[in-house]
Amino acid sequence: MSETPSPYDMGDMSGDGPGVVGAHDRDGDGKIDLVAYDRDGDGRADKLVFDEDGDGVPDHLALDRNLDGTVDFIGLDHDQDGDLDVVKTDTNHDGTLDTVITSAEE
């Protein structure tokens, strides 16, 4: 039995794997820096993983946690240790990221 991956897992920047609906080179350097996932199979991306510094390791995550078409969670892994250092969420579902939590290690 295969485990369902956590939506908060950043994965890798290969652009392969279950649920991947797009892999993009936004800055034209020949490396994938955005991977889009469709977690619920409706044909719309609801998880985006970014490699902002171009080193091949994901460092930003954007999620539509309630699958309403709006990003309501952004996670940043500044030190790229696999744990999110800063999390911004839309707790009242008004479209504004209104809660920011920072790791004590950040």
pLDDT digits (tens, 9 = 90+) for 73-103: 999 998 988 889 999 999 888 889 999 999 8
**Domain contains 2:** no
pLDDT of residue 48: 96
**Ordered strands of the 73-76 beta sheet:** 20-24, 34-37, 47-50, 60-63, 73-76, 86-89, 99-102
**Domain contains 56:** yes
**Domain contains 48:** yes
**Domain contains 20:** yes
Domain count, the chain: 1
Provide the residue range defining the domain that includes 23: 8-106
**Domain contains 77:** yes
Q: Tell me if residue 50 falls in helix, strand or coil.
A: strand
**Domain contains 1:** no
Using the predicted structure, report yes or no on whether residue 39 has a pLDDT greater than 80.
yes
Read off the pLDDT of each residue in 4-28 and give the average, rounded to a whole number: 90
Task: pLDDT band for 51, please (50, 70, 90 cuts).
Answer: very high
**Domain contains 97:** yes
pLDDT of residue 97: 92
Contact 98, 92 (CB under 8 A): yes
pLDDT of residue 80: 87
Residue closest to 59 by CA, chosen among 90, 35, 40, 38: 35
**Domain contains 3:** no
